[in-house]
Amino acid sequence: MSMSASQSARIGAARTGTIYAILIAISAVHMLNDSMQSVIPALYPIFQDTLNISYTQIGWLTFTLQMTSSVMQPVVGLVSDRKPSPWMLPVGMLMSMIGMAGMAFAPSFGMLIFFIVFVGLGSAVFHPEGSRVVYFAAGGRRGFAQSIYQVGGNFGQSLAPLMTIFIFIPLGQRGAVWGTLLAAAAILILLKVVPWYRKQLEEHGKPVKKAAVPRGELSIDAKKHKNVVAFALSVLILLVFARSWYGAAIGTFYQFYLIHDYGLSKQAAQVPLLLFMIAGVVGTFFGGMVSDRIGAKRTMLLSILGAAPFTLLLPHLPLVWMYPVAALIGLIIQASFSVSVVYAQELMPGRVGMASGLITGFAFGMGALGAVVLGKLGD
């Protein structure tokens, strides 16, 4: 009987145990990649001053970034599931490097959009292959490994406010060129990861084509199972979509709300965002542990519903209370992040890249549609 790539990977992982060096390395690259992505929304107030762009245009910047970096991920994941390519990892980082350098010198809104596409596509190329590296390195501890990987990404996102305070506000738009150093560091790390990853693919992870089964020969139980999986995956994508819409709103427009309604400076407006993101890192890490005790579905439900009352309360609080509440929201809402990825991979065995792309990519990216709507309302 043919063995799927998922089964082969699981056997290989079981033989070797968790490969912490590879896991930490790919998590570090995830941190560098996501910090480059997060720099873009953090630069919006600066772009608004230098390029005189509107809130609607800011919404379109977010839409472009999320559509290219996130919505393209399932497509890349589908291709990589069929033909994994270790060298796509450094190629993705090279694309991000070009995008960061271009943004630093973009003279117009149109050129800014053009270079943001490079950063987005670079991220889209990285994530599915990065998730497959985590899958091989997990050694059977997939929830733990995915949490470490996602913590790297979330920590990278939390660096954006600090980079804004210490680099972009003093240097302006030209400060974006410093992002090329992040991409260069990621490429150097990946040059160490790629040989190991290629070896794993050769030994355990070559995709095996399954024999086609005519539609009429599928059993009733198989059809029911397929429908149940499709429904569960649809609900999961909807939940991640809702979470990402809220994240896009906070990351894109909350700083403007603090500047205009509370009179904060651009630097001070980054502090609540920083707390939100750092708490999200903690939530992502411990969310995996909680799910081991109460299950993935309960963890995701508690995460979404638990954050709801605090999100409704946030705009009406005195400034002094916004800091702890923003952190609490980040802690709760991000607790389901890594859990949702692992759950999707369990629903789609043998399609690690596709499952990762649907959750960290498509569902997350569709939340960017909300940024355009909110930008229009803001104008």
Q: What pLDDT, on the 0 to 100 scale, is given for residue 9?
A: 43
Q: What pLDDT, on the 0 to 100 scale, is given for residue 294?
A: 81
Residues 6+ apart with CB under 8 A from 356: 73, 77, 127, 128, 131, 132, 341, 344, 345
What is the C-alpha to C-alpha distance for residues 194 and 201, in angstroms, rounded to an integer?
A: 11
Residues 6+ apart with CB under 8 A from 56: 372, 375, 376, 378, 379
What is the C-alpha to C-alpha distance for residues 246 and 249, in angstroms, rounded to an integer?
A: 5
CB contact at 8 A, 251 and 359: no
Q: What pLDDT, on the 0 to 100 scale, is given for residue 242?
A: 79
CB contact at 8 A, 116 and 99: yes
Amino acid in the structure at residue 114: F
Amino acid in the structure at residue 288: G
What is the C-alpha to C-alpha distance for residues 73 and 124, in angstroms, rounded to an integer?
A: 5
Amino acid in the structure at residue 378: G
What is the C-alpha to C-alpha distance for residues 245 and 66, in angstroms, rounded to an integer?
A: 11
User: CATH number of the domain at 5-207+221-378, please?
Assistant: 1.20.1250.20
Q: In tens digits, what is the pLDDT along the chain, a chain of 379 residues?
A: 334 444 444 444 444 577 889 999 999 999 999 999 888 888 888 898 899 998 889 888 988 887 888 778 888 888 888 888 899 999 999 999 999 999 999 999 999 999 999 999 999 999 889 988 988 898 777 777 888 888 888 788 778 777 877 888 888 889 889 889 999 999 999 999 999 999 988 887 554 444 444 445 545 666 777 788 888 888 888 888 878 778 777 877 888 888 888 888 888 888 888 899 889 888 888 887 787 778 778 888 888 889 889 988 988 888 899 899 999 999 998 888 878 887 887 888 777 777 777 777 776 666 666 666 777 776 6
Amino acid in the structure at residue 232: A
Residues 6+ apart with CB under 8 A from 272: 254, 258, 322, 323, 326
CB contact at 8 A, 344 and 74: no
Q: What pLDDT, on the 0 to 100 scale, is given for residue 83?
A: 84
Q: What pLDDT, on the 0 to 100 scale, is given for residue 304?
A: 83
What's the predicted TM-score (pTM) here? Answer: 0.72
Q: Which of 328, 228, 341, 222 is nearest to 278 (CA)?
A: 328
What is the C-alpha to C-alpha distance for residues 279 and 251, in angstroms, rounded to an integer?
A: 14
Q: What pLDDT, on the 0 to 100 scale, is given for residue 341?
A: 81
What is the C-alpha to C-alpha distance for residues 294 and 296, in angstroms, rounded to an integer?
A: 7
Amino acid in the structure at residue 338: S
What is the C-alpha to C-alpha distance for residues 308 and 318, in angstroms, rounded to an integer?
A: 19
What is the C-alpha to C-alpha distance for residues 212 and 279, in angstroms, rounded to an integer?
A: 47
Q: Would you tell me the crossing angle of helices 109-137 and 55-66 to the nearest 10 degrees?
A: 30
Alpha carbon separation from 86 to 92, 173, 210, 357 (Å, rounded): 11, 33, 23, 17
Q: What pLDDT, on the 0 to 100 scale, is given for residue 310?
A: 92
C-alpha angle 198-202-207 in degrees, rounded to nearest 5: 105
- Tell me the DSSP string of 146-161: HHHHHHHHHHHHHHHH
